[in-house]
Amino acid sequence: MKFSNFKMNVSRIGSFFKNLLFPPKCVACREFMQKDILDKCENPFCEKCRVKWELEKLSRCPDCGLEMTVCNCAAPLLKKSGVDEYVKLVNYSAKNKSVGKSAILHVKRTKNARVFDFFATQLSYSARIKNNTSDKNTVIVTYVPRSRNSKLKYGFDQSEELSRKLAKKLNVKHSRLFDRRGKQKQEQKKLGLNERRENAKNLFFVNRSKLEMLKKAERVIIVDDVITSGASLYGCIVALKKHYNGKIICVSVARTGKKK
């Protein structure tokens, strides 16, 4: 009992110095979080922004009209790619300001464990993910790898961080299944929809060292932070289907789409 009290005190002292040197800020409004300086800050949002986040999760899918957390609609490129389930939390608009958009932009640029853990926890609550991970030995969680230039610029891969957290929450295997081929001739965001699709087809390939693992898998969960056109995810699915015939589940924090 005394040892547990000692560990708790050490943890609180550690939190004190961390909060003193790096005061936690809300990832949406960037305001300082008002809390006990001795406590460990685990929530990425302040109280006001957390309420806004929960309201954004109630936003309707522009395709089917259901709440984004419930619908199974995918980006245009993914609709005929063989995806069995598509799980996301919020609608993302490049034009409109939102708590979700601010948080996603933050995780693209900053390696913030609080945000990754929060998003992974929220995604793990999805009934469709839970139903598909009941047999943990047959599930692999992987991710869409970030471009080499972006990884060098920011020092991390946001989708990798998110997928690791999600795999831990679900208590399933995590593996880097995909690699990217050499430098792209043109950035995806500068291409049209059809050009993105053709470019993505040859952009990704499955790591040969993972092929034996795939033979035993019944479900593969592919994680990305946000889906815009869905081209990168589509490229990963095309590469995966050359070696795998099982169920594919796509997971992202947000999907772009016009609000109705």
- Considering the domain boundaries, does residue 211 fall inside one? yes
Report strand pairing: 204-206 vs 178-180.
antiparallel
Contact 198, 106 (CB under 8 A): no
SS3 of the chain: helix, strand, coil, percent, to 5: 45, 15, 40
Does a structural domain hold residue 24? no
pLDDT of residue 118: 94
- Please indicate, yes or no, if residue 182 is contained in any of the structural domains: yes
pLDDT of residue 76: 76
The DSSP output letter for 67 is B
The low-confidence residues of the chain, meaning pLDDT below 70, are 1-22, 34-41, 182-197, 257-260
Predicted TM-score of the model (pTM): 0.85
What ranges make up the beta strands (E) of the chain? 85-87, 90-92, 139-143, 173-174, 178-180, 204-206, 219-227, 247-256
Question: Residue 227 sits in which domain range?
Answer: 66-256
Q: Is residue 10 part of a domain?
A: no
Reported in sequence order, the residue ranges of 76-233 that DSSP labels E, i.e. its strands, are 85-87, 90-92, 139-143, 173-174, 178-180, 204-206, 219-227
Q: What is the pLDDT of residue 2?
A: 52
What CATH number is associated with residue 105? 3.40.50
Count of domains in the chain?
Answer: 1
Residues sharing a CB contact under 8 Å with residue 44, sequence separation 6 or more, in sequence order: 26, 27, 103, 112, 114, 115, 118
- pLDDT tens digits for 156-199? 999 999 999 999 999 999 999 999 986 555 555 555 556 666 77
